[in-house]
Structure 1
Amino acid sequence: MFRSISTPSFSAFRSLRLLILLPLTFLLTACAQDQYLFLDRADLAPLQKQMAEQQLAITALRQQTQEQFDLLETRQQLRQSDLNAQLQEQRALIKKRPAPVVEPRNRLNTQAPAGGRYQGKLVVGELEPVYLAIPGVIYEARIDSGAETSSLHATNIERFERDGERWVRFDIEDPNHEKPITLERQLSRNVRIIQASADESERRAVVELPFMIGDHRQSAEFTLTDRDQLTYSLLIGRNVLRDVMLVDVGRENVTTLPENLDKVGDSDE
Protein backbone atom coordinates (compact mmCIF):
# COMPACT_ATOMS: atom_id res chain seq x y z
CA MET A 1 0.00 0.00 0.00
CA PHE A 2 1.05 3.53 -0.81
CA ARG A 3 1.23 6.03 1.84
CA SER A 4 -0.10 9.56 1.11
CA ILE A 5 2.59 12.14 0.78
CA SER A 6 2.10 15.40 2.53
CA THR A 7 4.74 18.05 2.21
CA PRO A 8 4.71 21.74 3.01
CA SER A 9 5.06 22.71 -0.66
CA PHE A 10 2.02 20.75 -1.74
CA SER A 11 -0.19 22.21 1.00
CA ALA A 12 0.87 25.68 0.11
CA PHE A 13 -0.02 25.04 -3.54
CA ARG A 14 -3.51 23.86 -2.62
CA SER A 15 -4.15 26.90 -0.48
CA LEU A 16 -2.99 29.23 -3.24
CA ARG A 17 -5.28 27.53 -5.74
CA LEU A 18 -8.31 28.01 -3.49
CA LEU A 19 -7.46 31.65 -2.99
CA ILE A 20 -7.42 32.17 -6.74
CA LEU A 21 -10.57 30.20 -7.60
CA LEU A 22 -12.87 31.76 -4.99
CA PRO A 23 -12.52 35.39 -6.16
CA LEU A 24 -12.92 34.32 -9.78
CA THR A 25 -16.15 32.48 -8.91
CA PHE A 26 -17.61 35.51 -7.15
CA LEU A 27 -16.60 37.79 -10.00
CA LEU A 28 -18.27 35.61 -12.65
CA THR A 29 -21.47 35.34 -10.59
CA ALA A 30 -21.73 39.09 -10.15
CA CYS A 31 -21.21 39.70 -13.85
CA ALA A 32 -23.99 37.29 -14.76
CA GLN A 33 -26.44 38.98 -12.36
CA ASP A 34 -25.59 42.44 -13.67
CA GLN A 35 -26.16 41.20 -17.22
CA TYR A 36 -29.60 39.83 -16.36
CA LEU A 37 -30.56 43.01 -14.50
CA PHE A 38 -29.47 45.11 -17.43
CA LEU A 39 -31.53 43.07 -19.88
CA ASP A 40 -34.68 43.34 -17.66
CA ARG A 41 -34.36 47.08 -17.33
CA ALA A 42 -33.85 47.46 -21.06
CA ASP A 43 -37.04 45.48 -21.73
CA LEU A 44 -39.14 47.58 -19.26
CA ALA A 45 -38.25 50.95 -20.75
CA PRO A 46 -40.56 50.71 -23.83
CA LEU A 47 -43.40 49.47 -21.66
CA GLN A 48 -43.00 52.36 -19.27
CA LYS A 49 -42.96 54.80 -22.20
CA GLN A 50 -46.13 53.22 -23.67
CA MET A 51 -47.91 53.41 -20.29
CA ALA A 52 -47.00 57.07 -19.98
CA GLU A 53 -48.40 57.80 -23.47
CA GLN A 54 -51.63 55.96 -22.67
CA GLN A 55 -51.98 57.90 -19.43
CA LEU A 56 -51.64 61.15 -21.35
CA ALA A 57 -54.26 59.98 -23.88
CA ILE A 58 -56.69 59.06 -21.08
CA THR A 59 -56.21 62.44 -19.45
CA ALA A 60 -56.85 64.22 -22.76
CA LEU A 61 -60.00 62.11 -23.37
CA ARG A 62 -61.34 62.93 -19.92
CA GLN A 63 -60.80 66.60 -20.51
CA GLN A 64 -62.55 66.45 -23.90
CA THR A 65 -65.51 64.54 -22.41
CA GLN A 66 -65.89 67.07 -19.63
CA GLU A 67 -65.84 69.93 -22.14
CA GLN A 68 -68.58 68.27 -24.21
CA PHE A 69 -70.69 67.64 -21.12
CA ASP A 70 -70.34 71.27 -20.04
CA LEU A 71 -71.37 72.39 -23.55
CA LEU A 72 -74.49 70.17 -23.55
CA GLU A 73 -75.48 71.36 -20.10
CA THR A 74 -75.15 74.97 -21.19
CA ARG A 75 -77.30 74.38 -24.27
CA GLN A 76 -79.95 72.63 -22.19
CA GLN A 77 -80.11 75.50 -19.76
CA LEU A 78 -80.49 77.98 -22.63
CA ARG A 79 -83.26 75.84 -24.19
CA GLN A 80 -85.08 75.62 -20.87
CA SER A 81 -84.85 79.39 -20.49
CA ASP A 82 -86.34 79.88 -23.97
CA LEU A 83 -89.21 77.50 -23.20
CA ASN A 84 -89.97 79.25 -19.93
CA ALA A 85 -90.02 82.59 -21.72
CA GLN A 86 -92.41 81.26 -24.39
CA LEU A 87 -94.66 79.78 -21.71
CA GLN A 88 -94.83 83.11 -19.91
CA GLU A 89 -95.76 84.83 -23.17
CA GLN A 90 -98.53 82.31 -23.86
CA ARG A 91 -99.94 82.75 -20.35
CA ALA A 92 -99.91 86.51 -20.75
CA LEU A 93 -101.80 86.22 -24.07
CA ILE A 94 -104.38 83.87 -22.56
CA LYS A 95 -105.03 86.28 -19.68
CA LYS A 96 -105.65 89.10 -22.17
CA ARG A 97 -108.28 87.13 -24.11
CA PRO A 98 -111.93 87.66 -23.12
CA ALA A 99 -113.71 84.74 -21.46
CA PRO A 100 -115.90 82.73 -23.89
CA VAL A 101 -119.65 83.02 -23.53
CA VAL A 102 -121.17 79.61 -22.71
CA GLU A 103 -124.69 79.19 -24.03
CA PRO A 104 -127.06 77.08 -21.87
CA ARG A 105 -127.89 73.68 -23.35
CA ASN A 106 -131.64 74.23 -23.57
CA ARG A 107 -131.47 77.80 -24.82
CA LEU A 108 -132.53 78.28 -28.44
CA ASN A 109 -129.89 79.51 -30.85
CA THR A 110 -130.32 83.26 -31.32
CA GLN A 111 -129.92 82.75 -35.07
CA ALA A 112 -132.98 80.49 -35.17
CA PRO A 113 -136.33 82.31 -35.36
CA ALA A 114 -139.05 81.78 -32.81
CA GLY A 115 -140.81 78.45 -33.19
CA GLY A 116 -137.59 76.35 -33.37
CA ARG A 117 -137.06 76.58 -37.15
CA TYR A 118 -134.10 77.79 -39.16
CA GLN A 119 -134.31 78.37 -42.90
CA GLY A 120 -137.52 76.37 -42.97
CA LYS A 121 -136.05 73.33 -41.16
CA LEU A 122 -137.02 72.13 -37.70
CA VAL A 123 -134.21 72.56 -35.15
CA VAL A 124 -133.89 69.55 -32.82
CA GLY A 125 -131.51 68.66 -30.01
CA GLU A 126 -129.75 65.47 -29.01
CA LEU A 127 -132.85 64.24 -27.14
CA GLU A 128 -136.42 65.02 -28.17
CA PRO A 129 -139.95 63.83 -27.30
CA VAL A 130 -141.42 61.85 -30.20
CA TYR A 131 -145.08 60.89 -30.51
CA LEU A 132 -145.80 57.56 -32.23
CA ALA A 133 -149.32 57.98 -33.61
CA ILE A 134 -149.60 54.20 -33.69
CA PRO A 135 -150.12 53.09 -30.96
CA GLY A 136 -150.35 56.65 -29.50
CA VAL A 137 -147.41 56.84 -27.05
CA ILE A 138 -144.64 59.37 -26.42
CA TYR A 139 -141.00 58.28 -26.26
CA GLU A 140 -137.92 60.23 -25.36
CA ALA A 141 -135.91 59.56 -28.50
CA ARG A 142 -132.23 59.96 -29.22
CA ILE A 143 -131.45 61.95 -32.34
CA ASP A 144 -128.50 60.31 -34.14
CA SER A 145 -127.33 61.74 -37.45
CA GLY A 146 -124.82 58.88 -37.70
CA ALA A 147 -127.55 56.25 -38.06
CA GLU A 148 -128.91 55.68 -41.57
CA THR A 149 -132.33 54.34 -40.49
CA SER A 150 -134.44 55.01 -37.42
CA SER A 151 -135.00 52.07 -35.09
CA LEU A 152 -137.54 51.03 -32.45
CA HIS A 153 -137.10 48.65 -29.53
CA ALA A 154 -139.28 45.59 -30.20
CA THR A 155 -139.52 42.05 -28.84
CA ASN A 156 -141.38 38.85 -29.80
CA ILE A 157 -141.02 39.75 -33.47
CA GLU A 158 -143.04 37.32 -35.61
CA ARG A 159 -143.44 37.45 -39.39
CA PHE A 160 -146.64 36.17 -40.98
CA GLU A 161 -148.72 36.47 -44.16
CA ARG A 162 -152.10 38.23 -44.49
CA ASP A 163 -154.06 38.40 -47.75
CA GLY A 164 -150.93 37.52 -49.70
CA GLU A 165 -148.94 40.34 -48.07
CA ARG A 166 -146.07 40.08 -45.64
CA TRP A 167 -146.84 41.31 -42.14
CA VAL A 168 -145.03 41.37 -38.81
CA ARG A 169 -146.30 41.17 -35.25
CA PHE A 170 -144.20 42.63 -32.41
CA ASP A 171 -144.33 44.05 -28.88
CA ILE A 172 -143.17 47.53 -27.88
CA GLU A 173 -142.84 49.19 -24.49
CA ASP A 174 -145.59 51.36 -23.08
CA PRO A 175 -143.91 54.24 -21.21
CA ASN A 176 -146.97 54.64 -18.97
CA HIS A 177 -147.62 50.97 -18.18
CA GLU A 178 -145.59 47.86 -17.48
CA LYS A 179 -147.60 45.75 -19.94
CA PRO A 180 -146.19 45.89 -23.50
CA ILE A 181 -148.22 46.91 -26.51
CA THR A 182 -148.66 44.42 -29.37
CA LEU A 183 -148.71 45.85 -32.87
CA GLU A 184 -149.27 44.35 -36.31
CA ARG A 185 -147.85 46.23 -39.29
CA GLN A 186 -147.25 45.42 -42.91
CA LEU A 187 -143.62 44.51 -43.51
CA SER A 188 -141.87 47.13 -45.64
CA ARG A 189 -138.67 45.16 -46.16
CA ASN A 190 -135.93 43.19 -44.42
CA VAL A 191 -132.38 44.40 -43.80
CA ARG A 192 -129.28 42.47 -42.85
CA ILE A 193 -127.09 44.01 -40.16
CA ILE A 194 -123.52 42.86 -39.53
CA GLN A 195 -122.26 43.81 -36.07
CA ALA A 196 -118.61 43.88 -35.05
CA SER A 197 -119.34 41.73 -31.99
CA ALA A 198 -121.10 38.98 -33.98
CA ASP A 199 -119.79 36.61 -36.63
CA GLU A 200 -123.11 36.24 -38.46
CA SER A 201 -125.42 38.91 -39.90
CA GLU A 202 -128.80 39.67 -38.30
CA ARG A 203 -132.00 39.87 -40.36
CA ARG A 204 -134.23 42.71 -39.11
CA ALA A 205 -137.77 43.66 -40.07
CA VAL A 206 -138.58 47.22 -41.19
CA VAL A 207 -142.04 48.76 -40.80
CA GLU A 208 -143.52 52.20 -41.51
CA LEU A 209 -145.00 54.21 -38.63
CA PRO A 210 -146.54 57.73 -38.37
CA PHE A 211 -144.98 60.05 -35.78
CA MET A 212 -144.53 63.68 -34.72
CA ILE A 213 -141.53 65.71 -33.55
CA GLY A 214 -142.60 69.19 -32.48
CA ASP A 215 -145.05 70.37 -35.12
CA HIS A 216 -143.45 68.20 -37.80
CA ARG A 217 -145.60 65.23 -38.82
CA GLN A 218 -144.72 62.39 -41.19
CA SER A 219 -144.40 58.61 -41.66
CA ALA A 220 -141.05 56.89 -41.89
CA GLU A 221 -139.46 53.46 -41.80
CA PHE A 222 -138.28 52.03 -38.46
CA THR A 223 -136.07 49.00 -38.01
CA LEU A 224 -137.38 46.63 -35.35
CA THR A 225 -134.60 45.48 -33.02
CA ASP A 226 -133.95 44.58 -29.41
CA ARG A 227 -132.57 47.75 -27.81
CA ASP A 228 -132.88 46.50 -24.25
CA GLN A 229 -129.17 47.09 -23.60
CA LEU A 230 -129.45 50.69 -24.83
CA THR A 231 -130.70 53.72 -22.92
CA TYR A 232 -133.40 54.88 -25.33
CA SER A 233 -136.10 52.74 -26.94
CA LEU A 234 -136.45 54.98 -29.97
CA LEU A 235 -133.72 56.32 -32.25
CA ILE A 236 -134.26 58.86 -35.01
CA GLY A 237 -131.82 58.49 -37.89
CA ARG A 238 -130.99 60.25 -41.16
CA ASN A 239 -134.02 58.85 -43.02
CA VAL A 240 -136.13 61.21 -40.87
CA LEU A 241 -133.68 64.10 -40.44
CA ARG A 242 -132.66 64.48 -44.07
CA ASP A 243 -133.89 67.75 -45.67
CA VAL A 244 -136.38 68.53 -42.89
CA MET A 245 -134.41 68.90 -39.62
CA LEU A 246 -131.22 70.44 -38.25
CA VAL A 247 -129.50 68.83 -35.24
CA ASP A 248 -127.83 70.86 -32.50
CA VAL A 249 -126.08 68.23 -30.36
CA GLY A 250 -125.42 70.76 -27.59
CA ARG A 251 -129.12 71.08 -26.77
CA GLU A 252 -131.95 68.85 -25.56
CA ASN A 253 -135.77 68.96 -25.66
CA VAL A 254 -135.85 71.90 -28.06
CA THR A 255 -139.20 70.97 -29.59
CA THR A 256 -142.65 70.86 -27.98
CA LEU A 257 -145.41 68.50 -29.04
CA PRO A 258 -148.86 69.97 -29.72
CA GLU A 259 -151.67 69.50 -27.25
CA ASN A 260 -154.13 67.85 -29.69
CA LEU A 261 -152.15 64.62 -30.16
CA ASP A 262 -155.33 62.54 -30.02
CA LYS A 263 -156.22 63.81 -33.51
CA VAL A 264 -153.04 62.38 -35.01
CA GLY A 265 -153.53 58.88 -36.41
CA ASP A 266 -153.43 56.73 -39.49
CA SER A 267 -154.07 59.68 -41.76
CA ASP A 268 -150.30 60.04 -42.11
CA GLU A 269 -149.98 56.70 -43.86
Structure 2
Amino acid sequence: MSDALVTLGWREWVALPALGVPRLRAKIDTGARSSALHVDAQWRFVEGGAPWVGFRLTHGRARGVVVEAQAPIHDEREVADSGGRRERRVFLRTPLQLAGCQREIEINLTNRGAMLFPMLLGRTAMAGLFTIDPAGSFLHGRPPLPTPRPGTP
Protein backbone atom coordinates (compact mmCIF):
# COMPACT_ATOMS: atom_id res chain seq x y z
CA MET A 1 0.00 0.00 0.00
CA SER A 2 1.34 3.45 -0.85
CA ASP A 3 1.51 6.37 1.56
CA ALA A 4 -0.81 8.47 -0.63
CA LEU A 5 -4.14 9.36 0.97
CA VAL A 6 -7.37 8.67 -0.89
CA THR A 7 -9.46 11.82 -1.45
CA LEU A 8 -13.12 11.74 -0.40
CA GLY A 9 -15.86 14.26 -1.02
CA TRP A 10 -18.13 15.65 1.70
CA ARG A 11 -20.50 12.73 1.03
CA GLU A 12 -19.73 9.25 -0.26
CA TRP A 13 -21.24 5.79 -0.72
CA VAL A 14 -20.01 3.23 1.80
CA ALA A 15 -20.62 -0.48 2.43
CA LEU A 16 -20.79 -2.37 5.72
CA PRO A 17 -20.59 -5.94 4.40
CA ALA A 18 -20.47 -7.75 7.76
CA LEU A 19 -23.77 -6.06 8.67
CA GLY A 20 -25.44 -6.91 5.35
CA VAL A 21 -25.36 -3.32 4.06
CA PRO A 22 -24.01 -3.36 0.48
CA ARG A 23 -24.29 0.42 0.07
CA LEU A 24 -25.33 3.41 2.14
CA ARG A 25 -24.98 7.17 1.78
CA ALA A 26 -22.62 8.67 4.36
CA LYS A 27 -21.79 12.22 5.33
CA ILE A 28 -18.05 12.66 5.79
CA ASP A 29 -17.60 14.71 8.97
CA THR A 30 -14.14 15.69 10.19
CA GLY A 31 -15.79 17.55 13.07
CA ALA A 32 -17.14 14.30 14.51
CA ARG A 33 -14.73 12.01 16.33
CA SER A 34 -16.80 8.84 16.03
CA SER A 35 -18.90 7.35 13.25
CA ALA A 36 -22.64 6.84 13.69
CA LEU A 37 -25.14 4.54 11.99
CA HIS A 38 -28.88 5.14 11.90
CA VAL A 39 -30.98 2.42 13.51
CA ASP A 40 -34.77 2.36 13.88
CA ALA A 41 -34.64 -0.13 16.72
CA GLN A 42 -32.03 -1.96 18.75
CA TRP A 43 -32.17 -4.73 21.30
CA ARG A 44 -29.61 -6.49 23.47
CA PHE A 45 -29.02 -10.15 24.04
CA VAL A 46 -26.29 -12.49 25.24
CA GLU A 47 -24.50 -14.84 22.85
CA GLY A 48 -21.85 -17.22 24.19
CA GLY A 49 -21.77 -15.28 27.46
CA ALA A 50 -20.95 -11.98 25.71
CA PRO A 51 -23.22 -8.94 25.21
CA TRP A 52 -24.54 -8.48 21.67
CA VAL A 53 -26.83 -5.97 20.00
CA GLY A 54 -29.42 -6.62 17.33
CA PHE A 55 -30.73 -3.72 15.29
CA ARG A 56 -32.89 -2.72 12.35
CA LEU A 57 -32.18 0.10 9.93
CA THR A 58 -34.19 1.37 7.01
CA HIS A 59 -32.64 3.44 4.24
CA GLY A 60 -32.68 3.96 0.50
CA ARG A 61 -35.20 5.69 -1.68
CA ALA A 62 -38.35 6.27 0.33
CA ARG A 63 -36.70 4.12 3.03
CA GLY A 64 -37.45 1.01 1.03
CA VAL A 65 -34.46 -1.07 2.21
CA VAL A 66 -34.75 -2.77 5.59
CA VAL A 67 -31.74 -4.49 7.14
CA GLU A 68 -31.67 -6.46 10.39
CA ALA A 69 -28.25 -7.30 11.77
CA GLN A 70 -26.49 -8.24 14.96
CA ALA A 71 -22.98 -7.79 16.30
CA PRO A 72 -21.03 -8.13 19.52
CA ILE A 73 -21.03 -4.97 21.63
CA HIS A 74 -17.53 -3.52 21.57
CA ASP A 75 -18.14 -0.68 24.05
CA GLU A 76 -20.70 1.77 25.45
CA ARG A 77 -19.85 5.45 25.79
CA GLU A 78 -21.35 8.88 26.20
CA VAL A 79 -21.50 10.75 22.89
CA ALA A 80 -22.40 14.42 22.39
CA ASP A 81 -24.48 15.08 19.27
CA SER A 82 -24.14 18.19 17.11
CA GLY A 83 -26.53 20.03 19.44
CA GLY A 84 -24.41 19.21 22.50
CA ARG A 85 -26.88 16.69 23.94
CA ARG A 86 -25.16 13.72 25.55
CA GLU A 87 -26.40 10.18 25.09
CA ARG A 88 -25.04 6.75 26.01
CA ARG A 89 -24.51 4.72 22.82
CA VAL A 90 -23.56 1.18 21.90
CA PHE A 91 -20.38 0.86 19.81
CA LEU A 92 -19.47 -2.05 17.58
CA ARG A 93 -16.52 -2.81 15.30
CA THR A 94 -17.18 -3.71 11.69
CA PRO A 95 -15.44 -3.59 8.31
CA LEU A 96 -16.07 -0.46 6.21
CA GLN A 97 -15.60 -0.47 2.43
CA LEU A 98 -15.05 2.92 0.86
CA ALA A 99 -13.24 4.11 -2.28
CA GLY A 100 -11.72 0.68 -2.95
CA CYS A 101 -10.35 0.48 0.61
CA GLN A 102 -11.45 -1.67 3.51
CA ARG A 103 -10.71 -1.15 7.18
CA GLU A 104 -12.33 -2.08 10.45
CA ILE A 105 -13.95 0.88 12.16
CA GLU A 106 -15.79 1.63 15.36
CA ILE A 107 -19.36 2.78 14.86
CA ASN A 108 -22.10 3.78 17.28
CA LEU A 109 -25.80 3.10 16.85
CA THR A 110 -28.33 5.93 17.15
CA ASN A 111 -31.53 7.20 15.59
CA ARG A 112 -30.54 9.48 12.71
CA GLY A 113 -34.02 9.38 11.16
CA ALA A 114 -34.23 13.17 11.06
CA MET A 115 -30.87 13.44 9.25
CA LEU A 116 -30.30 13.41 5.49
CA PHE A 117 -27.63 10.70 5.74
CA PRO A 118 -28.13 7.40 7.54
CA MET A 119 -24.42 7.27 8.35
CA LEU A 120 -21.91 9.80 9.57
CA LEU A 121 -18.25 8.90 9.03
CA GLY A 122 -16.10 10.49 11.73
CA ARG A 123 -12.42 11.33 11.71
CA THR A 124 -11.15 8.28 13.62
CA ALA A 125 -12.47 6.06 10.80
CA MET A 126 -10.63 8.18 8.21
CA ALA A 127 -7.32 8.84 9.97
CA GLY A 128 -4.23 7.90 8.01
CA LEU A 129 -6.13 6.65 4.95
CA PHE A 130 -8.34 9.44 3.63
CA THR A 131 -8.22 13.17 3.03
CA ILE A 132 -11.27 15.33 2.29
CA ASP A 133 -12.09 17.66 -0.60
CA PRO A 134 -15.09 19.62 0.74
CA ALA A 135 -16.04 20.66 -2.81
CA GLY A 136 -16.26 17.02 -3.92
CA SER A 137 -19.34 14.82 -3.71
CA PHE A 138 -19.65 11.06 -4.30
CA LEU A 139 -16.16 11.02 -5.85
CA HIS A 140 -16.00 7.20 -5.85
CA GLY A 141 -19.42 6.38 -7.24
CA ARG A 142 -22.07 4.01 -5.98
CA PRO A 143 -21.00 0.47 -5.06
CA PRO A 144 -22.82 -2.21 -7.05
CA LEU A 145 -25.42 -4.28 -5.28
CA PRO A 146 -24.40 -7.91 -4.86
CA THR A 147 -25.79 -10.25 -7.51
CA PRO A 148 -28.20 -12.78 -6.03
CA ARG A 149 -27.01 -16.37 -6.18
CA PRO A 150 -29.13 -18.70 -8.34
CA GLY A 151 -32.08 -20.01 -6.35
CA THR A 152 -32.22 -17.03 -3.95
CA PRO A 153 -34.86 -14.30 -4.10
Q: Provide closer, same or farther for how the CA distance between residues 145 and 137 of structure 1 changes in structure 2, counting only shifts above 3 A.
A: same
Q: Which residue of 2 aligns with 1:184?
A: 70
- Unaligned runs of 5+ residues in structure 2 are 148-153
CA RMSD of aligned residues (A): 2.3
1:4-33 residue CA offsets vs partner (Å, 9 max, x unmatched) = xxxxxxxxxxxxxxxxxxxxxxxxxxxxxx
Letter of the aligned partner of 1:246 in structure 2? T
Aligned to 2:55: 170
* 1:224 positional shift: 0.2
What number of residue pairs does the alignment pair up? Answer: 143
Q: In 2 relative to 1, CA 182–173 (structure 1 residues): closer, same or farther, beyond 3 Å?
A: same
| 1:240 alignment partner, one of 108, 114, 125 | 125
Separation (CA, whole Å) in 1 of partners of 2:25 and 2:143: 15
For 2:14, the aligned partner's letter is V
Q: Which residue of 2 aligns with 1:213?
A: 98
Shift of 1:137: 2.5
Per the TM alignment, residue 175 of structure 1 is displaced from its structure 2 partner at its CA by 2.1
SS at match of 1:250: coil
Identity of aligned residues (%): 22
| Structure label with greater radius of gyration | 1
TM (norm. structure 2) is 0.82
Work out whether residues 124 and 254 of structure 1, in 8 Å CA contact, stay in contact via their aligned partners in 2.
yes
Per the alignment, residue 101 of structure 1 pairs with none
State the TM-score, normalized to the length of structure 1: 0.49
Query: Would you identify which runs of 4 or more consecutive aligned residues in structure 1 move more than 3 Å?
Result: 194-198, 256-259
Question: Which residue of 2 is the match for residue 159 of structure 1?
Answer: 44
Work out the CA distance in 2 between the residues paired with 1:138 and 1:236.
Answer: 14
Q: What is the aligned counterpart of 2:115 among 218, 223, 230?
A: 230
Deviations 1:74-127 (A, max 9, x none): xxxxxxxxxxxxxxxxxxxxxxxxxxxxxxxxxxxxxxxxxxxx9511110101
Q: State the SS of the aligned residue for 2:75.
A: strand
Letter in 1 for 2:21: G
Q: Structure with the greater relative contact order (CA < 8 A, sep ≥ 6): 1 or 2?
A: 2
The structure 2 residue matched to 1:125, chosen from 1, 5, 9, is 9
The offset of 1:179, in angstroms, is: 5.5
Cα 1:161–1:211 change in 2 (3 A) is: same
Displacement after TM superposition at 1:257 (Å): 5.6
1:215–1:256 contact (8 Å) kept in structure 2: no
Compared with structure 1, are the counterparts of its residues 225 and 129 closer, same or farther at alpha carbon in structure 2 (3 Å cutoff)?
same
The separation in 1 between residues aligned to 2:5 and 2:119, in whole angstroms, is 21
Q: Deviations over 1:31-74 (max 9, x none)?
A: xxxxxxxxxxxxxxxxxxxxxxxxxxxxxxxxxxxxxxxxxxxx
Equivalent residue runs for 1:107-118 within 5 Å: none
Q: 1:126 to 1:179 in 2, by over 3 A?
A: closer
Residue in 2 aligned with 1:24? none
* 1:142 corresponds to: 27
Asked if structure 1 preserves the Cα contact closer than 8 Å seen for 2:94 and 2:106, the reply is yes
